A and B are shown apart, each in its own frame.
Chain A
Amino acid sequence: GEDVEQSLFLSVREGDSSVINCTYTDSSSTYLYWYKQEPGAGLQLLTYIFSNMDMKQDQRLTVLLNKKDKHLSLRIADTQTGDSAIYFCAEAPYNQGGKLIFGQGTELSVKP
């Protein structure tokens, strides 16, 4: 079946790097996503990676994909207090009309 797992909490100091990890089960997933959710708000797409890529970098964000291990990570460089939020990874199983399967979300707390 389809399942996406994340650790629930991560706490870092301002200026450090944050690494949020995710594992998924559906090897047919063509795209994998990272979303950010601030309290009481909807989801903001941060970045996505195509399944034939190993890495994608976008400013402070680096996504690493290990397809063999079905492991996805999001690294945030120079983490700021404004990065405090819940981060969701999601997979889009192939040929399911764009349906997204979300992980439980990782709550990132950035301390000054």
Chain B
Amino acid sequence: GAVVSQHPSWVICKSGTSVKIECRSLDFQATTMFWYRQFPKQSLMLMATSNEGSKATYEQGVEKDKFLINHASLTLSTLTVTSAHPEDSSFYICSASDTEFPYEQYFGPGTRLTVT
């Protein structure tokens, strides 16, 4: 159980376009989903936390107008990178939690974004 999927697994887009990444919890209801960004050989940086039906909470330094997060249902959250630039190229990973005690986050396989 506790499977999280991401789609697409990799995407290449041109500079200036927008890209949407989906994160789905397949066999549980995720009241909270997290979006992380990971640069090569580096740790995961939390970008934002989203709760179903409410606005996402962004970490300091993350542009909320650039990284749009929507958590429309208990099984789906989306991250849209708007007006993408080459510096947005990264590995984006989502995780989902049902917030039951203890806090266990189940991670998706990640999405590799390359902006040309």
Contact = CB atoms under 8 A, between A and B. Distances in A.
Interface of A: 30-31, 35, 40-45, 48, 50, 88, 92, 97-105
Interface residues of B, number: 25
Contacts of A99: 34, 46, 49
Contact of B44 (A31, A45, A92, A102): A102
Given A98-B32, A98-B97, A30 B109 contact: no
Interface stretch (B14-22, B62-70, B74-82, B99-107): B99-107
Nearest to B111: A42
B2 to A, nearest CB: 9
Contacts of B99: 97-98
A108 B41 CA distance: 13
Interface string B37-59: 00001111010010000000100
Nearest to B97: A98
Interface of B: 4, 6, 32, 34, 41-44, 46, 49, 57, 93, 95, 97, 99, 102-110, 112
**Counting chain B CB atoms within 10 Å of each CB, which of A50, A100, A103 scores highest?**
A100
A65 to B, nearest CB: 14
Given A40-B112, A43-B93, A105 B43 contact: yes
Contact of A44 (B41, B44, B107): B107
Contacts of A40: 110, 112
16 contacts: A30-B102, A31-B102, A40-B110, A42-B107, A42-B109, A43-B44, A43-B107, A45-B106, A45-B107, A48-B102, A48-B104, A97-B99, A98-B32, A99-B34, A104-B43, A105-B42
Nearest to A103: B43
B49 to A, nearest CB: 6
Contacts of B109: 41-42
A41 B110 contact: yes
Contact of A42 (B43, B93, B103, B104): B93
**Counting chain B CB atoms within 10 Å of each CB, which of A42, A45, A88, A99 scores highest?**
A42
B103 A92 contact: yes
